[in-house]
Structure 1
Amino acid sequence: MSSAGLIRTVAAVIRDPAGRVLLVRKRGSTTFIQPGGKTEPGESALQTLARELEEELGVVLRVDSAHRLGEFEADAVNEPGRRVRTEAYAVEVDGHPQVRAEIEELAWVVPQAPFPVKVAPLSAGHVLPALRRAMAAGELA
């Protein structure tokens, strides 16, 4: 697939004190994904995350906490026949995440299968394993 056919996003991995990660389910979907979204023209990855996290969850990104986990690609769960490529960051936020905008449900899950909810292949197969690798390497507290 050409890069023009890709859906490009930025994703946040937000952990709670118990080590669980926040996943979100958009209205009309049955699958949980990392919070985040598509970059607007002229935005950096972290500017996108800050905007999306405020819009979708009502939290403020601590930009200095961002740790890049990598860039990953998989089949898109909300747009059949398309692929999504995300740049993922482990981040900290100020505030308590709440359902807003197109988000219908939040789930705090242990970042390893089996998951208690249906998790997108991009998260389950790429983003969450990258988080576990970063934690095992001592890159994250």
Structure 2
Amino acid sequence: MSEHTNQAARRIRIAAALIMRSDGATLLVRKKGTDCFMQAGGKIDAGEQPLQALARELCEELSIQPTLAEFQTLGRHTAPAAHEPEAVVCADLFLLRADQAVAPASEIEECIWLEPGKHIAIAMAPLTQDIVIPLWRHILKQDAEKQ
């Protein structure tokens, strides 16, 4: 997207989770009728705080209910929207370390766990590919240095 297009693009506010298991694997989801994998999460409703929206979405999409204290803020990031032409997502991104089982529900058709060091050969949303996967690898490196 050109800079001019970015300025004119419709902005979609979302909250998303980089979910990591204790073995370092990260969870990606694919919504029904789409082909790109992305983080679990979704649009922030009017009057809702990003973390509240994320907790609601994780309950709806994956049947998990983490406490708000379990999330670590990873900042706000912008990327082209995966399934809405001429739109960009403005994502409040949070880290959630969780080993609980997830079950696709609501609009989620498929969940996959990416394992550290494995080749990734799937279609990913721009936010996931360009921002979240590099962040995940950075967190993995920091975790390894702590051990």
TM-score bracket, normalised by the shorter chain, equals 0.7 to 0.9
Q: Structure 2 matches for 1:74-89, cutoff 5 A?
A: 74-89=79-94
Q: Can you give the 5+ residue segments of structure 1 that lack an aligned partner in the other structure?
A: none
SS of 1:29's partner is coil
Give how far 1:136 is off.
Answer: 3.6
d(CA) in 1 for partners of 2:92 and 2:102? Answer: 21
SS of 1:61's partner is coil
Give the counterpart of 1:40 among 41, 45, 51.
45
d(CA) in 2 for partners of 1:57 and 1:71? Answer: 23
Give the counterpart of 1:132 among 120, 133, 137.
137
Q: Are residues 111 and 129 of structure 1, via their aligned partners in 2, closer, same or farther at CA, if it must alter by over 3 Å?
A: farther
d(CA) in 2 for partners of 1:111 and 1:7? Answer: 30
Q: TM-score, normalised by structure 2?
A: 0.83
Over alpha carbons, which structure has the higher Rg?
A: 2
SS of 2:42's partner is strand
Give how far 1:33 is off.
Answer: 0.5
SS of 1:64's partner is helix
Q: TM-score, normalised by structure 1?
A: 0.86
- Counting aligned pairs with the same residue, the percent is 36
Bigger proportion of residues as helix: 2
Number of aligned positions between the proteins: 141
Partner of 2:64: 59
Q: Structure 2 matches for 1:67-78, cutoff 5 A?
A: 67-78=72-83
- More displaced 10-residue stretch of structure 1: 65-74 or 113-122: 113-122
Bigger proportion of residues as strand: 1
